[in-house]
Structure 1
Amino acid sequence: MNIVSIVYKKELKDMFRDKKTLIAAILIPLLMYPIIFGFMGKGMKSNMDSVKKEMNVVIVDKGNSKLGQLIKSQKNIKLKESKDVFNDVKEGKILLGLEIPEDFDKNINEEKKADIIITMDNTSQKSNMAMSEINAIIDQYSKAIVGARLQAKNIDTSILTPVNPVIKSAEKKENGMAKMMLSLLLPMMLIMFAASGPIASATDLGAGEKERGTLEPLLTTQASRMSLLWGKFLAITTMGIVTSIAFISGLGISMKTSPEAFNYGVDGAKFSMEPKTLLIIALITVLLTMVFGALALSISIYARSFKEAQTYLTPLSFIGMLGFTSYFIEPKNMSMIFLNIPVVNATAVIKELILGMFNIQHLIIVLAWMLVYIVLSLSFARYMFSKEEVIFRT
């Protein structure tokens, strides 16, 4: 263990001395997500505030209808002129174009169906937001018309709403959206970083040492190959964990500084996890990082050069893409099959934990599989490290 400790410290020092490793493993995960979600959140908030404050709209209302007057009276409606409404909407000069027929009020008064033509750009976020605002006004106006018609016939207007849904949500409205978004993003990102985090270190400590000619001198020391393997493996795992911590920190900063990116405009969104939840998620992430670290080291040792190792290890990072299964796994009624699929099972359990579900049976199954994966991956790494034709493969 003393030799393993020496190798571990030596490899860790080398990695932290390498500026490229620090940038790739710590700085980028720590800063990338606050920047990405910062722009995303501020952009969404800016668009929403912009539409609520001012909407550039063209209204063609030859009959000067009451609906047209109602829309024009809104504070955030800014009327524009246009010779070609369709192209102006398409080019973003205006958000919406409304055409109200001359006989609109006549049809309403005669209790006939009255059409209104709305031109929008369904590829524009602002145009879609403006459409929602106008739809709300039209819906309000339609209900007022129907209500007036019923009153004229001495019919109670409550007949329009025979069912009144009283919604009781499992979470507070301001917290539910943030919780759902985190249950989609966090498992996916943790799995991706558990898979990709050890790759850079493993490439350097395996194929990199071969290329630099420093592996052979290590083998001539009193340190056994297994001691070297364990030292390198623990160093790679540590770096992978540091990368995951940097990512979680970056995500935490993002949620604090740019809550708009997580709550879809719902104000006051707050979300927190219990310490035991964080500990279990951390344990699963560490175990998964160990699996990928052992596999990455095995592949790196097999490769002839640094470049070849990068080529071989690229598919390993793609396995981390299985974290995207968080987008379609529904923990509350998922099949047990998901708990027996590598990587997917970790995603499922992490999502359960984020949503406040502590299913002991699921946790035991996944942790048991994790231990099996670690034993298999370490056995593979040991096999590769003990083969002379692999160690000296150049």
Structure 2
Amino acid sequence: MSGPAAGRQLTDRQRLNWLRLIRTPNVGPITFRHLINRYGSAENAIGMLPELRLNGGAMQRVRIPSVDETETEMDVAARHGARFVCIGEPDYPPILKTVDHPPPVLAVKGNAKVFGLPALSIVGARNASLAGIKLARSFATELGRDGYCVVSGLARGIDTAAHQGSLATGTVAVLAGGLDRPYPPENTALIEEIAERGAVVSEMPFGWQPRAQDFPRRNRIVAGLGLGLLVVEAAKRSGSLISARLAGEMGRLVFAVPGSPLDPRAGGTNALLKDGAILTTEPADIVQALTPLTGAVMPSPRTFEEPADFAATPPPGDDERARVIEALGPVPVGVDEIIRHTDMHPAQVFMVLLELDLAGRLERHAGGHVSLLFPD
């Protein structure tokens, strides 16, 4: 995604328009990138949204946040001691830029210098055992002393213990809702402590109450911010295993603490070990594995990209749109497959998919696959 040159700040107007664009319904990180690449700026893209949605078959007008609404959110952020950081700016976490489709804008409260430390993500059960809580806290403390930042999701149990153990050395908490809607509420005081030496981040709007479907998005950022991810306790079906899977897909190292086969909270961690996770019984196991990665440049993911002449290619007509829609269905297919099947210019295929996405008619899947959504 095109953004400010490395280390350059956006102007206040650019930042406001980035926030307006990402807060628009059906504009996610992938669509945001396509729009910026096509139209050169968020401001230009916003002006094109009504036409693009209409081309995609949207039945209702797009609800774009107004300048006043966006300025209000920015004022609310400032009152909470937070600010918005855009990808490519100096305070954006460098390692997060390497994940597939990173969030274009993050709300950040605290000290962005913590993003410069090598990081380990720690996750685990909310209903953790006392032994698991003690272990997570002690691991976080020792890793902090070894120069690592600890990242977690502020949940009860293991997450809370990991943050508490690394308060003195730097920790990052990732929220599933707005920074003013911490979950669980009892960790509100912990957020303030974290922000003193570390940072609290979220991609969600201020005022956003977290829902169940928001936690996988949070887990993705948790996994993306670390060189590796440690699972202390996790059942066989848990968000922690989702985080571990995401970390593995991102090329991060996955660590797991073994547990008793009789404890259901160890079912997930033991399964991870069977699948190749690194057996972890002491912080030295993590340090030994991560040391070669510390200071190394993380490779960018291999993702499908628009062709270089994306912005210069004539827009698709009705016939081209029909051909792409005919090639789509409820079963996910690769974008490259659509291009080969329709024999259309890649830029035109990307454009049709962008229109469908903005109209709420496209679902994106892992690996650059897409499917068509049908009305209920």
TM-score by length of 2: 0.23
Larger fraction in strand? 2
Larger fraction in helix? 1
Higher relative contact order (CA 8 A, sep 6+): 1
